[in-house]
């Protein structure tokens, strides 16, 4: 058995055995298989796909590539959430402290930006001092102490996924059902959770552009979870435009804190509350109307905000950011994109917003790129809003004036303005379980 032979086999559309998949994953994890060969394998999977047994084998091989956390000593059900990736999707930053404030234990292992979508870790690390590289011991201690921790993958936790994740980001192999499913489920199953709520995005700004593909991905991940005896439910949510009004790492931290202060944008709050309800019901905290009341209460009382403060403090971040946003990285340059006509916003191309955010410095084009944590977009108008000629559509900010100017010129093309008022796109489309 050689890597070359396995690549050819998958390139030809044939079914790989568990042994062949284990060989590839182990070889790449240990460095025996180089990037260029594993990139070829990823591309073969991208075009030829994998059946459910292959996808499950890939997931388990990636999960077993490192240590599996044991959280059994921590009382209660441990429930996590994961999003397949969107533009302006800062839900995890708000959801983790909110659900923890409602009494559910939330061990959250998150990722970095992937393709045109932002990453939870990158957003958290825009908070000065915030540390996402917790050890397993620190992770468990924090969960015991405050009921929630938000960390990146350790070297021991699904190391195969960590390497493959970074490679997919720069090889054009992100939007593949088996690769997405294996990536998400391998690290989630390895973190020792009892249940998982999935936010599967669909639409222009998602990796799964159409509902059928999104539903297929949701079902694959749910079935993988069931094979491991885990509770899994998925919401399919729309990603036709950015979620909330801000896109960019530090900007999304600001918007998250504002949500916890009770000032959340309606679209962001709708998705947030839908996912929070699922996590609380999975954790046996009551029926839907009961958990909705709990969610509203922890926001109104300030308990959810205080739990976010606890997270920041526990992970060495500067807690002053809660009350002073100037603690965050500040952009030097600002530019406003103005409407060329009067009318209604009929479309905002979320995919192009994501792509342009990477151009601006919010994400990475290569593995080694440095992020501009201050960069991003502040949307003044969303789909369905009326706009006057000359009125601001979006503000562009960042540290590099050339990038700010370049992206500002490109941004106008992502808006479609017309005479007819349209409804905002549907956000919570389906529930799969």
Catalytic residue chosen out of the listed positions 80, 161, 175, 310: 161
> Rounded distance, CA 258 to CA 160, Å?
36
Looking at the chain, the number of H-run helices and the number of E-run strands are: 16, 13
Catalytic residue chosen out of the listed positions 82, 163, 294, 364: 82
Q: In the annotation, is 334 catalytic? A: no
Q: In the annotation, is 161 catalytic? A: yes
| Strand-pair category, 392-398 with 428-432 | unpaired
Q: Which two tokens stand for residue 157?
A: 């936790």
Q: Which of 149, 160, 145, 140 is nearest to 38 (CA)?
A: 160
Catalytic residue chosen out of the listed positions 123, 168, 381, 403: 168
The widest CA-to-CA distance across the chain, in whole angstroms, is 65
3-state SS track over 304-320:
HHHHHHHHHHHCCCCHH
Q: In the annotation, is 89 catalytic? A: no
> Rounded distance, CA 385 to CA 103, Å?
38
Q: Which of 154, 152, 153, 142 is nearest to 100 (CA)?
A: 142
Catalytic residue chosen out of the listed positions 10, 81, 123, 187: 187
> Rounded distance, CA 234 to CA 49, Å?
22
Q: In the annotation, is 65 catalytic? A: no
Buried b (16+ CB within 10 A) or exposed e, 39-70: bbbbbbbbebebeeebbbbbbbbbbbbbeebe
Catalytic residue chosen out of the listed positions 92, 110, 126, 183: 183
Q: Which of 403, 246, 253, 264 is nearest to 327 (CA)?
A: 253
Measured on CA atoms in the order 267, 268, 274, 275, is the torsion positive or negative?
Answer: positive
Q: In the annotation, is 131 catalytic? A: no
Q: Which two tokens stand for residue 413?
A: 């093309």
The catalytic residue positions are 82, 161, 168, 183, 187
């Amino acid at each position: 058995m050689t890597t070359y032979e396995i690549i050819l086999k998958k390139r030809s559309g044939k079914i790989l055995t568990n042994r062949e998949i284990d060989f590839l994953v182990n070889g790449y994890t240990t460095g025996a298989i180089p990037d260029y060969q594993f990139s070829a394998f990823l591309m073969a999977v991208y075009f030829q796909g994998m059946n459910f047994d292959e996808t499950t084998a890939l997931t388990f091989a990636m999960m077993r590539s490192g240590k599996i956390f044991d959280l059994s000593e921590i009382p209660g059900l441990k429930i996590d959430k994961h999003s397949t990736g969107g533009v302006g999707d800062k839900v995890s930053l708000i959801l983790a402290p909110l659900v923890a404030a409602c009494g559910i234990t939330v061990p959250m292992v998150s990722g970095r930006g992937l393709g045109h979508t932002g990453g939870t870790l990158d957003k958290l690390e825009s908070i000065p001092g915030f540390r996402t590289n917790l050890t397993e011991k620190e992770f468990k201690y924090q969960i015991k102490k405050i009921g929630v921790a938000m960390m990146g993958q350790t070297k021991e936790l699904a190391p195969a996924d960590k390497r493959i994740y970074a490679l997919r980001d720069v090889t054009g192999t992100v939007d593949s059902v088996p690769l997405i499913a294996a990536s998400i489920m391998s690290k989630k199953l390895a973190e020792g959770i009892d249940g998982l709520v999935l936010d599967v995005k669909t639409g222009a700004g998602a990796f799964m552009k159409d509902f059928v593909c999104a539903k297929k991905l949701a079902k694959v991940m749910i079935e993988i979870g069931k094979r491991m005896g885990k509770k899994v439910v998925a919401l399919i949510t729309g990603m036709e435009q950015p979620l909330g009004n801000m896109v960019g790492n530090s900007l999304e931290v600001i918007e998250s804190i504002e949500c916890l202060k009770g000032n959340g944008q309606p679209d962001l709050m709708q998705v947030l509350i839908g996912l929070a309800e699922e996590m609380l019901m999975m954790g046996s905290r009551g029926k839907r109307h009961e958990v909705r009341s709990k969610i509203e209460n922890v926001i109104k009382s300030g308990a959810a905000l205080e739990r976010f403060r606890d997270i920041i403090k526990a992970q060495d971040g500067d807690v002053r950011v809660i009350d002073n946003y100037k603690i965050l990285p500040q952009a030097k340059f600002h530019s406003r994109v103005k409407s060329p006509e009067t009318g209604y916003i009929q479309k905002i191309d979320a995919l192009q917003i994501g792509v342009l955010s990477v151009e601006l410095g919010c994400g990475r084009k290569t593995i080694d790129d440095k992020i501009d944590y201050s960069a991003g977009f502040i949307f003044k108008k969303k789909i369905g809003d009326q706009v006057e000629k000359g009125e601001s559509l979006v503000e562009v900010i960042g540290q590099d004036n050339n990038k700010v100017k370049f992206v500002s010129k490109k941004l106008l093309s992502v808006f479609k303005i017309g005479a007819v008022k349209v409804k905002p796109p549907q956000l919570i489309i389906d529930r799969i379980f």
